[in-house]
Chain A
Amino acid sequence: MAVAVELRGVRVRYGLLEALHGVDLACPAGRVTVLLGRNGSGRTTVLRALAGDVPVSAGQVLREGRDVTALDAHRRAAAGSAYVPAERGVFGSLTVAQNLALSGDAPVDRWFPELARLLHRRADTLSGGEQQMVAVGRALAARPRLLLLDEPGRGLAPAVAARLHGALFELAAAGRTVVLAEQAPLPSLQRAAVVHVLRRGRVAFSGEPSELGPAGGAGGADRTGLSL
């Protein structure tokens, strides 16, 4: 399984606090990788480090074997990655159509037919769930080879979230790499190739979803015997 993107010994600091203490993790190409962990475990920071949204104080970020640690966020995006943050993922002063056109021209109505009637509305007049659709839609419109999503299901109706997860697996089947962060393992993500469980800024568990056991992410982490 080729590795699409990888962190090697990555440390990230926010001021005096260190959020990631030397994290090593790899995400296979053309598959779905899920990052699990409680609040403050470093899930979002891992995604941000992959996207180039935070400076890395030590370690390397590798993309298809190439060191991209020093590459700016916009260059990484231009090189085919897209990141959907958990909140404020839309440009509020632009219309939905402009939001989508900003990234690319791939049609997104297949995944979010709801957006078709909202194209001329300003994004900040939409509801939270609709904004989340625009945010994910904007990422999909760019036809990214690497898609990074932070809790993409947040604020979406369960049916829409399940449809979104289905879409992510479709994308992976078409050769794209998907990395998403969630608080807890969701049934619709059982087909993921790899799960990394983060705990207090370290990787506590890496493996297949089936190895996690019924207790979920925390249980998997406990089974590894790591307590920090």
Chain B
Amino acid sequence: MPGTLDLSIDLALAGLAVGSAAALSGVGLVVTHRVTGVLNLAQGAQATATAYLLRELVVVRNWPLAPAAAFCLLVAAPALGVLLDLAVFRPLRRRDAGQAESMVAGIGVFVLLIGVIVLVWGTTPFGDAPALVPATVLARPGGHALRLDTLVQLAVVLGLAGGVGLVERYTAFGIRLRAVVDNRRLARLAGIDADRISAAGWAFGSFTAGLVGVLLAPLLLLDPYGLPLLVMATMAVAVAARLRSLPVAVATGLGLGIAQSELTRLRPGGQLLPLAQAVQTNLFVVALLVAALLPWGHGQDGPGLATSGGRPGRRGSSAARTACAVLLLLPLGFRPEDLRHALLVPALALVLLSVVVVTGYGGQVSLGQAGYAGLGALGTALLMSGKVPGVPALSAVPALLLAVAATVPLGLLTGWPAVRRRGLALALVTFAVGTALSRLVFDQPYATTGLTVSRLGLPADDQGFYLVELVLLGAGLLLVRSLHRGPPGRALTAMRDHQAGASAAGVDVPRLKLLVFMAGAGLAALGGALTALAQQGFDATAFDPVQGLLWFATVVVAGADSAAGAVLAAALLTGLDAGTLPGVSAVVVGALATAIGRLPGGLAGLARRLADRPAPGLTPLGHRLRRRIAERSR
């Protein structure tokens, strides 16, 4: 069948465009991670920012393409990388912060950059992003169009990957770089300026990110949300390469690009068609899930997120609890339209509490809690709409309880992989699960049309519903408290601080991990279900994986092991968004997250340090006055 073969070759050539960009993204992530130990979650935003800048210079300011591209890729993008290193990641390195805090800082950078893009260029998509290389057909061997841009992209990917390999292996700089990768502290002691090497790593990573953005932008509309997410999905490439191997990254990127293109030919009939289409459009997400679930060599261990050695300050924590109670009861006196916004507070608080349990208490990084919240919401919606085969349409309370009960065992989706993974490997699995749930489960036609959510069986007015929410939040807080006190609390703390030590002391670590993830899934599902009931509808975008990242960052910024901090954060986030513009809360969290290097223990840690500070002493004048008064009273 020569026709079929010809089509295959043409599709493969077409797939190389996305494939080489994905490979490049993988190369950038691998190099940055190897040199700095950080998985650059902000890469998508860096790519988008560079693409916007190039468009601005070429289309708006009429620069010629070559100098504009040179400026964007060789000056602006590397400078952004160095700036990120200096301002955000170097303070984290200085105090040996763990993987989770570096990720939070990356999320912060992501959110801030997107915020700046929206501020400067707005949200209107642009269809006129300039292409770096014209799509001239060079030759037609066997009738297949061989385009200049495809060849140049391929050459750039292979050249960069090969160049990095050669530099690492054969130059003195490469040996120094490998020494820093191997043992940063020892490298500094051996006279190597490890900070300069990290800055070089960030500059290179930022350059590749910019290149990815500039290459991908002409293939799709340039808008602040689509491109970063596409780049984020290409993380699959780096994960498949285990964040180490450049050849694997290049091969996976090209392979996935070609596979995605070839899959367009697959058109199975009947019920399978939507599934096939979903897999085809989300092939990188599927690949991310598969790559993250395949066994890793060995998980990396990092310090927990709690403020180490900090005795809970009595003054600080009781103040936080009082503030929580006041903030939660305040909306009962609100006007109806304000109360409607406040309905989201207890729901969000429950989702954030799930992160506190999994990450703050259990020490397990979970970036996928939005997935569980979405499952709770979708389950409630499906059960109330009578869309679950064999189950009649239920009223709100049984639907909510059933949805939560069904989600709890699904906590094993991330709990089971967590038994054998730690740190970054676990973070990636949880992110992949959250992303796959969002793209393959929530974003499907059955979930976006024909669902009805009402408060049938619950108080219909907002005030009554808010009271129900408060009761459920109270139940959630009691569960969280029981996990933090007594024997379970000690076992969890032991597991968080030193897993091997906890095992040796008789703690059943695998069981405890499963328990933590199931409790987290239940809490998140309850929060998600309440969100759906509050809004009286299921909105898939509310449970986007980026939302999950933001929630994780929020909890870490608020103080990962502080339940009161999570509740306060939920109130403040909702209040900020309702009182100002939507998205302001994200920018605030982003800004705080980038400062996490200077804010150990988050805001709760800061509050504890302030509360633990000794009472201010008297000035010399005060001492004199005190003596005077004492003398007089005698």
CA distance A88 to B186 in the complex (A): 8
Which of B179, B182, B188 sits near A77, CB closer than 8 Å?
A: B188
Interface residue? B151 (CB, 8 A): no
B191 and A78: CB pair below 8 A? Answer: yes
Interface residue? A92 (CB, 8 A): yes
Per-residue interface assignment for chain A, residues 71 to 102, with 1 indicating a CB less than 8 Å from any chain B CB and 0 otherwise:
01110011000110100111111100010011
Interface residue? B308 (CB, 8 A): yes
**Inter-chain CB contacts under 8 Å: number:** 63
CA distance A159 to B113 in the complex (A): 61
Per-residue interface assignment for chain B, residues 156 to 186, with 1 indicating a CB less than 8 Å from any chain A CB and 0 otherwise:
0000000000000000000110110111011
Shortest CB–CB separation between residue A93 and chain B, in angstroms? Answer: 5
Chain B residues near A142 (CB, 8 Å)?
A: 190-191
CA distance A52 to B308 in the complex (A): 23
Chain B residues near A83 (CB, 8 Å)?
A: 189
Shortest CB–CB separation between residue B548 and chain A, in angstroms? Answer: 31
B189 and A102: CB pair below 8 A? Answer: no
Interface residue? A187 (CB, 8 A): no
Chain B residues near A183 (CB, 8 Å)?
A: none
Interface residue? B519 (CB, 8 A): no
Taking CB atoms and an 8 Å cut-off, the chain B residues in 401-458 that contact chain A are none
A103 and B191: CB pair below 8 A? Answer: yes
Taking CB atoms and an 8 Å cut-off, the chain B residues in 181-213 that contact chain A are 181-183, 185-194
A93 and B178: CB pair below 8 A? Answer: yes
A91 and B179: CB pair below 8 A? Answer: yes
Shortest CB–CB separation between residue A165 and chain B, in angstroms? Answer: 22
A73 and B189: CB pair below 8 A? Answer: yes
A51 and B189: CB pair below 8 A? Answer: yes
Interface residue? B143 (CB, 8 A): no
Nearest A residue to B180, CB-CB:
A91
Taking CB atoms and an 8 Å cut-off, the chain B residues in 267-325 that contact chain A are 308-310
B176 and A102: CB pair below 8 A? Answer: yes
B186 and A85: CB pair below 8 A? Answer: yes
Interface residue? A138 (CB, 8 A): yes
Which of A16, A92, A103 sits near B182, CB closer than 8 Å?
A: A92
Q: A53-B189, A74-B188 are in contact. Are A94 and B309 (CB under 8 A)?
A: no
Which of B175, B181, B186, B191 sits near A89, CB closer than 8 Å?
A: B186
Chain A residues near B181 (CB, 8 Å)?
A: 93
Q: A15-B309, A74-B194, A101-B175 are in contact. Are A91 and B188 (CB under 8 A)?
A: no
Best-buried of A15, A74, A83, A94 by chain B (most CB within 10 Å)? A74
A91 and B191: CB pair below 8 A? Answer: no
Chain B residues near A98 (CB, 8 Å)?
A: 175, 178
Chain A residues near B186 (CB, 8 Å)?
A: 85, 88-91
CA distance A93 to B169 in the complex (A): 12
Chain B residues near A73 (CB, 8 Å)?
A: 188-189
Chain A residues near B189 (CB, 8 Å)?
A: 51, 53, 73-74, 77, 82-83, 85
Shortest CB–CB separation between residue B46 and chain A, in angstroms? Answer: 28
Chain B residues near A103 (CB, 8 Å)?
A: 190-191
CA distance A228 to B544 in the complex (A): 59
CA distance A102 to B187 in the complex (A): 9
B185 and A53: CB pair below 8 A? Answer: yes
Chain B residues near A102 (CB, 8 Å)?
A: 175-176, 179, 190, 192
Q: A15-B309, A16-B309, A91-B187 are in contact. Are A74 and B192 (CB under 8 A)?
A: yes
B191 and A77: CB pair below 8 A? Answer: yes
CA distance A78 to B190 in the complex (A): 8
Nearest B residue to A14, CB-CB:
B309
Chain A residues near B187 (CB, 8 Å)?
A: 74, 91
Shortest CB–CB separation between residue B438 and chain A, in angstroms? Answer: 37
Q: A16-B309, A88-B183, A92-B182 are in contact. Are A72 and B175 (CB under 8 A)?
A: no
CA distance A145 to B536 in the complex (A): 74
CA distance A85 to B190 in the complex (A): 11
Which of A15, A72, A138 sits near B188, CB closer than 8 Å?
A: A72
Chain B residues near A93 (CB, 8 Å)?
A: 178, 181-182
A74 and B193: CB pair below 8 A? Answer: yes
Complex A-B: 7 CB contacts under 8 Å: A15-B308, A17-B309, A77-B190, A92-B182, A92-B183, A94-B179, A98-B178
A binding-site residues for B, Cβ under 8 Å: 15-17, 51, 53, 72-74, 77-78, 82-83, 85, 88-94, 98, 101-103, 138, 142
The 7 closest A-B pairs by CB, nearest first: A77-B191, A91-B182, A73-B188, A78-B191, A74-B188, A16-B309, A93-B182
- Can you name 19 extra interface pairs (CB under 8 A) apart from A74-B189, A74-B193? A16-B309, A16-B310, A51-B189, A53-B188, A73-B188, A74-B187, A74-B194, A77-B190, A82-B189, A89-B186, A90-B186, A91-B178, A91-B179, A102-B176, A102-B179, A102-B192, A103-B190, A138-B190, A142-B190
